[in-house]
Amino acid sequence: MTRNNKILVPEARAGLDQLKARVMKDKGYRVNPEKPDNVKYEIAREQGIPLKEGNNGQLTSEQAGKIGGPIGGNMVKEMIKIAQEQMKK
């Protein structure tokens, strides 16, 4: 599956993938550190959403949000926590 999302600093991709793997593992998901994006399939199964590899054009925006929301939301919360800790120093 190709990545359609673009990050501002492409060199940060590996760090973001590590963050995603750590955060989602801390939330109780099984995460392959080599393929942290695969956690979305576990979340989709939990939600009863028919996510498959390849084209998922049949998904509604609501379904996609139920999959990506927990991932991105938890990553943002962790980044805020890290920033607050650094500001205290």
For 77-86, write each residue's pLDDT tens digit: 999 999 999 9
Q: How far apart are CA 89 and CA 86, in angstroms?
A: 5
What is the reported pTM?
A: 0.78
Q: 3-state class of 81 per DSSP?
A: helix
pLDDT tens-place string over residues 1-15: 455 667 788 898 889
Rounded to a whole number of angstroms, the distance between the first and last alpha carbons of the chain is 41
Amino acid letter for position 67:
I
Task: Identify residue 56 by its one-letter amino acid code.
Answer: N
| Tens-digit pLDDT profile for residues 8-63 | 888 988 899 999 999 999 999 999 988 998 999 999 999 999 999 988 889 999 99
